[in-house]
Amino acid sequence: MADETRAVANPAALGLIGFGMTTVLLSLINAGVLPGGGTSVVIPLAIAFGGTIQLLAGMFEFKNGNTFGTVAFSSYGAFWWWFALLLIFGHTGVVDLKTAGSTIAVTLLAWGVFTMYMWVSTFRTTMALQLVFLTLWITFYLLGLGDLFHVRVLTLIGGWIGLICGLLACYTSFAIVTNETAGKTVLPVGPYSTA
């Protein structure tokens, strides 16, 4: 019987654009470019695109045997669901966020720690992916510290770094789709590390 191999789509492009677009929108709010009330627009995007699309991409990466992609997309997809549910539950009175104290800040810092360990794993991937994770852990730390110490400027800077992170993720998705469609490198993502 002939060995039939069939091409499988790269789910990273889907996961990265889901993450990137949602991150760009929230970061514009954190940076003060868009009004704080704009989070009501972020919530459905976080559920549909940032959350659900990334969870699907994570499961597709699981099917492809990619541990990094599985953990990354599934985790950040769950992050967007957490974020959306936190806002929904907080605004509707299901949970009382007034008594949460520094818990949200510590949660953001924990995401920063997780993202740092994921960033270490990107050292064997492309430069574009390394930069996405580098800017993401910096964003989490800035947002977490800004919330913990009530320092608005840290949140603003975190918003700008988050914007860079989101745009890098969008670019990386764009490069994957474009390069795979063209069958050659049209948009560079940097060399793969051999370290």
Q: Is the pLDDT score of 135 beyond 70?
A: yes
pLDDT tens string 146-184: 999 999 999 999 999 999 999 999 999 999 999 999 999
Task: Please give the pLDDT value at position 4.
Answer: 58
| Whole-Å CA distances, 50 to 41, 140, 152 | 13, 16, 25
* Residue 188 token pair: 């560079």
Mean pLDDT of 110-119: 98
- Distance, in Å, from the CA atom of 72 to the CA atom of 64, rounded to the nearest integer, reads 14
* Residue 117 token pair: 């360990």
Query: Do 53 and 18 meet the contact criterion of CB atoms below 8 Å apart?
Result: yes
Residue with tokens 């499961």: 59
pTM confidence score: 0.94
Q: Is the pLDDT score of 2 beyond 60?
A: no
* 96 backbone φψ class: left, alpha, beta (φ>0; ψ -120 to 50): beta
| Whole-Å CA distances, 159 to 25, 60, 90, 129 | 10, 30, 22, 19
Contacts with 132 (C-beta within 8 Å, 6 or more apart), sequence order: 16, 122, 165, 168, 169, 172
* Residue 176 token pair: 């994957």
Q: Residue 5's pLDDT band (boundaries 50, 70, 90)?
A: low
Q: Residue 3's pLDDT band (boundaries 50, 70, 90)?
A: low
Task: Please give the pLDDT value at position 191.
Answer: 83
The per-residue pLDDT of the chain, averaged, comes to 95
Mean pLDDT of 64-87: 98
Mean pLDDT of 6-16: 91
Task: Please give the pLDDT value at position 194.
Answer: 56
Task: Please give the pLDDT value at position 7.
Answer: 75
- Identify which of 68, 50, 67, 70 has the alpha carbon closest to the alpha carbon of residue 59: 70
Q: Residue 8's pLDDT band (boundaries 50, 70, 90)?
A: confident
